[in-house]
A and B are shown apart, each in its own frame.
Chain A
Amino acid sequence: MPSAPSPSGLRVCAGAPGAAILGVGAARPRTVLTNAELEQRLDTSDEWIRTRTGITERRVAGEGESVVDLGAEAGAKALAHAGVLPGEIDLVLVATSTLEFAMPQAAPQVAARLGSQAGGFDVGAACAGFCYALAAAADAIRAGTARQVLVVGVDRMTDILDPGDRGTVPIFGDGAGAVVVGASEENRIGPVVMASDGERSGLIARAADAPVLVMDGPAVFRWATTSLLPYARLACERAGITLADLDGLVAHQANVRIIDALARAMKLRPGAVIARDIVTTGNTSAGSIPLALEALVTQGDLPDGGRLLLIGFGSGLTVAGQVVSFP
C-alpha cells in the first residue's frame, strides 16, 4: 500500500503480487553452418568440435538479420505467443553485446519495429545478460513501474570472431530469443542471484589490438564447471525450493560439457529436462537462454508449470540466475 505523504518521503507504486513469463519467441538466422563446412576452412574436424563442445551446427546471420532485425522478430513472436499487443508493453529490455555501435541502443529500435513507444534500454552483461534483464523486468512489474515488459536476448557473435580462430569460430553463432513478462497473482519468476568476478575480465574479452573476441577456453571451462553450483542452489533456496524440486535446467548454452557437468553437480531428479539447444544453435551469448527455452516449449518437452532454473554466466565474469515456473 502507498505510504502516507510526508515532507521527505515519496510514494511508491502499487506493484503486482507476482510476475510471470507469458510467452516466448525466437529468431534463428536462415544460414546453417555445419561442422563439415568448418572443416573446409579451418584446421579443425567434426570430431574435434563435437567432443569438445557438443555442437554439430550453428546459425550465421546475414543480410536483413541485424541485431535489431533478429531482436524484433523474436519479440514479435513472443508477443503473439503471449497474446499481448505491442501497445500493452511499457518497457523493452534488450540484452546484447554485439551492436555495431553503443549508440543508438537496440531497445528503442526494437520497440519501434513492433509499433511501440515503450521505454527501453540495453543490458550489456554478455552471456548472463538475459537473466539480468529478466530480473529487472520481473522487479519492475512487482514494483509497479511496468505492467508488461518485453525482454530480448540477442547476439551476432559471428561479427566479432577472428575467422581463423579455431578456438572460437566453431563455438559461437547468431540468434535471438524473447519473452513477455507480465503481472501474475502467483509469482512465477523467483528472486535472482547475481555475482561477478571482474578480476578475471580478461578470460573472455574483445582483444585490445583487434575488434575480435578472445577466450581462454580451458580457464573458462574450469570456472564454469566448478563455480556455478552454489549460485544454482541459492537461486532455488531464494525461490523456496531445492535443486531436487527442479523440473529442468536451462543454462546458458556455452558448451554441452559445461551444461552436463553442471547438471551432474546439481543432481537433478531423473526425468528433469536439460536444455541442449546449443547442439544445433551454437553459443549465441545473450540469445542462448530464451532460444533454448523456446525450443523446449516448441518441442513440448516442458510440463505445465514446470520449475526451471535459468542461469547465465560469461564474460565479465558475470553470473545471474533465477527459478521460473513456465509454461
Chain B
Amino acid sequence: MTDEEVLAGLAEIVNEIAGVPAADVVPSASFTDDLDLDSLTMVEVVVACEEKFNVRIPDDDVPGLKTVGDAVAYVRAAGVAA
C-alpha cells in the first residue's frame, strides 16, 4: 500500500468519524490543532485504522501520532512489519 492509498483511507476515516472534509486531511495537519479531534475521537480513528489497514496500534503508540503524516508513516511501517 502506498503513502497515497493510506492517506486516502485515513481521510475517509477522519471524515466519517469526525465530519472533517477529506481534503483537509493532509500530511502536515495536526490531529488536535488543525483537525480539532479530541483524545477520544483520536481513539476512534485509531481503532478504525486498525480494522481498515489490518495493523495493530497499541495504546502507548497513540500519543506519538501527532500529525496525519505520522499516522501514514506508522501504518505503512506496521503494515510492512505484519
Contacts and interface: CB of A to CB of B under 8 A. Distances in A.
Most A Cβ at <10 Å: residue of B38, B39, B40: B40
A218 B39 CA distance: 6
Interface stretch (B5-13, B25-33, B42-50): B42-50
- Categorize the interface residue count of chain B: 10 to 19
B59 to A, nearest CB: 5
A222 B38 contact: no
Given A218-B43, A225-B43, A261-B44, 18 more contacts: A51-B38, A52-B38, A52-B39, A52-B40, A216-B59, A217-B39, A217-B40, A218-B39, A218-B42, A218-B59, A218-B62, A219-B59, A221-B40, A221-B43, A222-B59, A225-B47, A226-B47, A257-B40
The prevalent SS among residues of A at the interface is helix
A107 to B, nearest CB: 36
Contacts of B47: 222, 225-226
B69 to A, nearest CB: 21
Interface of A: 51-52, 216-219, 221-222, 225-226, 257, 261
B60 to A, nearest CB: 9
B44 A225 contact: yes
26 contacts: A51-B38, A52-B38, A52-B39, A52-B40, A216-B59, A217-B39, A217-B40, A218-B39, A218-B40, A218-B42, A218-B43, A218-B59, A218-B62, A219-B59, A221-B40, A221-B43, A222-B43, A222-B46, A222-B47, A222-B59, A225-B43, A225-B44, A225-B47, A226-B47, A257-B40, A261-B44
